[in-house]
Amino acid sequence: MWLPHSESDAPRDLPALCDPLPDPPGVSGIADRRPRRREREERNDVSSWALQLGLSKSVADAACDYLAGWLSQRVQRGGARRGAVVAASFYACKAGGMPMTSSELARATGVPSRSIKAACKRMASFVEGRRAGGYRGRPVRLGDILPRCCERIMVGRDVAATKSLLLECIQLCADLNGVVALQGRTPASLAVAAIWSVAKRRGLSLSKKQISLGCEVSVATLDRCLVILEGAAGGTPQWICLTFGLSDGHFVVESGPSTYKWLDTVRVETFRRDMARNKRSSRMAPLLLKPSAKRKATTTVVVHEEPYSIKGFESSMYDIRCFICLGWDQGDVSRLVCNAPVQRCQCRTYLCTSHTLDPRFESYCVTCKKPASTVPDPTATALLKSTALVECTSPQCPELVTVNDMESHLLSQCPFNLIRCGEPGCSVRYAHKDKDAHARACESISCRFALAAPDGTQLGCSWRGNRSERYSHACPIGTPQRFGLIRGCYDYLMREIKARDDTIAALNDASNDDEDSWRGALNLLALCGPSPDPPGGTGIADRRPRRKEREERNDVSSWALQLGLSKSVADAACDYLAGWLSQHVQRGGARREAVVAASFYACKAGGMPMTSCKRMASFVEGRRAGGYRGRPARPGDILPRCCKRIMVGQVAATKSLLLQCRQLCADLNGVVALQGRTPASLAAAAIWSVAKRRGLSPSKKQISLGCEVSVATLDRCLVILEGAAQKSAQTWENPRQEWYVVRV
């Protein structure tokens, strides 16, 4: 259907009421107010990329700002527009201090790297023009891509080995800083050459092909950079740095790369400063902060459930350092024991147990140079693990914790610890601090027909998976009509549970009030002594609540709730019971039967009669003047309940069976042969006759159980019913009369 969009497009012969109205001042037109689906999808893509790459929300907002400004100046479609979206993300990463390469963005977004580079060239002048608006970008540096390259190359390997490789590569690049031959090379080519050199020196099983793929460069580029790197690294010194410092009862261990072992607690920020200060020596002397003799032992640490003073602890930490790496590799600690045959040396030399696993390791006493053996020292290990502070294993976490507290720190305190989404269909790993943001953008969804109970039970479709699998999901419910039935059952169940809880709460409140009043009366009696009863009043002993009567009232209320009776019926039953027990003293089974009999007559008085009761007849008849208006039970009262119990779960068949049974009982009204039979036996015979005629599956046993009669009673009634049905066919025109007397 064509609609005019402006006054010039409108036909001239339209009446005045059909002319398009001009937009009010300052309000955009309907076409401008339409949501732009394309722009919303692009913003969602930028947010998901930022979450996947571990970028902050400010970077995603800056990318959306760049994209909106760029698209407001020119119109782009297809691949060029897609490249512009990624180019905006590229410049936003640079402005936020987290630069990414075009290859990394291409792998994360699926856009070809060639399109991204072309879009970046087109957008360069636009971004440069926005410097006054707060853009402060910086180029990609070697330190920005080294962690990502090492993580891709060492995927599936030990985390400690990956971190050690990264630290050694950073140190190598810092040592080669300022080399003229390396200027002009891309950061990726320098990274691949540094990683290959360190991996070859450490004996890692990495090929050139694996390293070049991880850094996204060719093997030829790797070979060219290796030649330059080997020539520039000829005179690079290797050094060791060790610092023991006491801070709040803990030692901070900092160590750098050495020819034997690289520890995981290196502070990379101090490499260049230390190298510039110690260029003249090939090995830096360790800096040891020895304990002061005047320190008071005011603080203690606990090792193996034994307290140690800080003063002794400082001396122990100074003595148990590894004599090979002059530090600690966060593992077990061993001790050298001299094996001299005559007189053993009393030296106590410690070393990391990992050093003894090297095939080149030879154990000799450091004092007498005789052969020695290594013995594990659990006390020294426990002392270091409980007190030495090390850096968190998360790359971006600046916290220092002990090795014993590392696991709890990663699970509950570290905001940068990467965790995997536990929802089915979502494989994203996100930082602990971004848990709420990921919950809003999680790819895992559930079926639209899902319904969960408060206890977690799945009442609807229990499928849950990825958004892309939603259209291939074969839902067992399928239609809203079926889900409506489940929803109706759920609502009915919730209403019943709420009604039950309200009843229980009301009964508990009433019981608590009675108990409180009774206790208050007893306390008053104990304080003031017994007082004479007022005229016409009862004593305190008579006013005490009778637990047996309260339990009987609660039983009557619960039966009324279970049978679907009103509150007035329950109140009438309690009234009958109180009046009956005031005249008769009954206990045991007779009292229990009296409670049920009171409920029976209350149902009859309320117009909802139940079957069978023979006692209390004279008592209830005597209370007719008090408002009792009972009527006998009829087959029409119990037929619905019997049909529901027999045809459970079949709503339409139950309704049809009930209608035909009522019609049969109405046709047989007034038959003399049926007088004196109970309504339950007549109902069972009528249901069996109709079920047999309609070819239904219920057996005599099922019908007798549903109507609460025996099979023999059903057979006797069937004989009478069949004879009466033959006679009633001849007297069809006779007026209907009262046809039976209830026998109770």
What's residue 342's pLDDT? 64
For residue 146, which of 116, 209, 189, 109 has the smallest C-alpha distance? Answer: 189
DSSP class of 534: P
CA dist 120 and 140 (Å) reads 14
For residue 465, which of 457, 474, 455, 456 has the smallest C-alpha distance? Answer: 474
The share of the chain scoring above pLDDT 90, in percent, equals: 0
Q: 244-248, long-range: CB within 8 Å, 24+ apart, which pairs?
A: 244/288, 244/289, 244/317, 244/318, 244/321, 245/289, 246/289, 246/310, 246/314, 247/389
- Per-residue tokens: 529: 């002594």
DSSP string, 461-505: ---EEEGGGSTT---SS-SHHHHHHHHHHHHHHHHHHHHHHHHHH
What's residue 735's pLDDT? 38
What's residue 307's pLDDT? 53
Average pLDDT for 68-89: 81
Q: Is the pLDDT of residue 536 over 70?
A: no
For residue 603, which of 551, 644, 568, 643 has the smallest C-alpha distance? Answer: 568
CA dist 446 and 467 (Å) reads 9
| Cβ-based neighbours of 668, under 8 Å, separated by 6 or more | 674, 721, 724, 725, 728, 739
What is the length of the chain?
744
**Residues 166 and 150 sit within 8 Å (Cβ to Cβ):** yes
Average pLDDT for 256-267: 29
Q: Is 449 exposed, middle or buried (0-12, 13-18, 19+ CB in 10 A)?
A: buried
DSSP string, 626-679: GT-------HHHHHHHHHHHHTTT-HHHHHHHHHHHHHHHHHTTT-GGGTT--H
* Calculated CA dihedral for residues 675, 679, 684, 685, nearest 10 degrees: 10
CA dist 696 and 704 (Å) reads 15
List the single range of 191-195, 263-267, 572-576, 636-640 with lowest mean pLDDT: 263-267
**Residues 395 and 416 sit within 8 Å (Cβ to Cβ):** yes
**Residues forming a β-bridge with 322:** 350
Q: Is the dihedral of CA 81, 83, 86, 88 positive or negative?
A: negative
Strands 300-303 and 418-420: unpaired
Residue 398 corresponds to which amino acid? Answer: P
What's residue 90's pLDDT? 85
Other CB atoms closer than 10 Å to residue 725's CB: what's the count? 14
| Digit-coded pLDDT (tens) for 381-391 | 888 888 777 78
| Digit-coded pLDDT (tens) for 2-35 | 334 444 444 444 444 444 445 445 444 444 444 4
Residue listed under structure tokens 């990467």 = 418
Most confident of 140-149, 181-190, 551-560, 685-694: 685-694
Could you tell me which residue, 743 or 230, shows the higher pLDDT?
230
For residue 268, which of 120, 402, 169, 200 has the smallest C-alpha distance? Answer: 169
**Residues 383 and 303 sit within 8 Å (Cβ to Cβ):** yes
What's residue 229's pLDDT? 72
For residue 210, which of 158, 173, 157, 259 has the smallest C-alpha distance? Answer: 157
CATH of 635-730, one of 3.20.20.140, 3.40.1080.10, 1.10.472.10, 3.40.50.11440: 1.10.472.10
What's residue 257's pLDDT? 32
| Cβ-based neighbours of 346, under 8 Å, separated by 6 or more | none
| Digit-coded pLDDT (tens) for 123-144 | 887 877 765 444 445 566 777 7
| Digit-coded pLDDT (tens) for 591-642 | 777 888 888 888 877 776 766 555 555 555 555 545 555 556 677 777 888 8
List the single range of 151-160, 340-349, 683-692, 704-713 with lowest mean pLDDT: 340-349
Residue listed under structure tokens 């009528």 = 686
Strands 242-247 and 250-255: antiparallel
Could you tell me which residue, 568 or 607, shows the higher pLDDT?
568
Other CB atoms closer than 10 Å to residue 405's CB: what's the count? 14
DSSP string, 546-564: -HHHHHHHHHHHHHHHHHT
CA dist 268 and 168 (Å) reads 10
Other CB atoms closer than 10 Å to residue 295's CB: what's the count? 13
Q: In what order do the strands lie in the sheet with 400-402?
A: 287-288, 242-247, 250-255, 388-391, 400-402
Q: Is the pLDDT of residue 288 over 80?
A: no
| Digit-coded pLDDT (tens) for 81-93 | 888 888 888 888 8
Spell out the CATH class of 142-232. mainly alpha
What's residue 41's pLDDT? 80
- Per-residue tokens: 239: 């050094």
Confidence of residue 278 (pLDDT cuts 50, 70, 90): very low
**Residue ranges, CATH 1.10.472.10, the chain:** 33-133, 142-232, 546-626, 635-730
CA dist 398 and 528 (Å) reads 72
| Digit-coded pLDDT (tens) for 144-199 | 778 888 888 888 777 788 888 888 888 777 776 656 566 667 788 888 888 888 88
Could you tell me which residue, 460 or 237, shows the higher pLDDT?
460
Average pLDDT for 90-101: 78
Q: Is the pLDDT of residue 669 over 50?
A: yes
Between the alpha carbon of residue 257 and those of residues 260, 263, 268, 321, 384, the distances in Å are 8, 7, 10, 16, 20
E strands of 498-620, at which residues? none
Could you tell me which residue, 457 or 647, shows the higher pLDDT?
647
Q: Is the pLDDT of residue 656 over 80?
A: yes
CA dist 301 and 720 (Å) reads 96
Average pLDDT for 489-494: 82
**Residues 605 and 631 sit within 8 Å (Cβ to Cβ):** no
Confidence of residue 120 (pLDDT cuts 50, 70, 90): confident
For residue 147, which of 185, 102, 220, 98 has the smallest C-alpha distance? Answer: 98
Confidence of residue 296 (pLDDT cuts 50, 70, 90): very low
Q: Which helix (H) or strand (E) holds 278?
A: none
Confidence of residue 228 (pLDDT cuts 50, 70, 90): confident
**Residues 388 and 263 sit within 8 Å (Cβ to Cβ):** no
546-626 belongs to which homologous superfamily?
Cyclin-like (1.10.472.10)
Helices (H), 182-333: 187-202, 208-215, 219-232, 271-277, 310-319
The share of the chain scoring above pLDDT 70, in percent, equals: 65
List the single range of 47-61, 421-435, 607-621 with lowest mean pLDDT: 607-621
Confidence of residue 255 (pLDDT cuts 50, 70, 90): very low
Q: What count of Cα atoms within 13 Å lies in the side-chain half-sphere of residue 655?
A: 2
For domain 33-133, which architecture applies? Orthogonal Bundle (1.10)
Confidence of residue 742 (pLDDT cuts 50, 70, 90): very low
Average pLDDT for 479-494: 79
For residue 741, which of 671, 642, 650 has the smallest C-alpha distance? Answer: 671
What's residue 620's pLDDT? 56
What's residue 304's pLDDT? 46
For residue 244, which of 224, 227, 260, 265 has the smallest C-alpha distance? Answer: 265
**What is the distance in angstroms between the CA of the first residue and the CA of the last residue of the chain?**
77
CA dist 333 and 351 (Å) reads 6
* pTM of full prediction above 0.75: no
Helix (H, G, I), strand (E, B) or coil at 428: coil
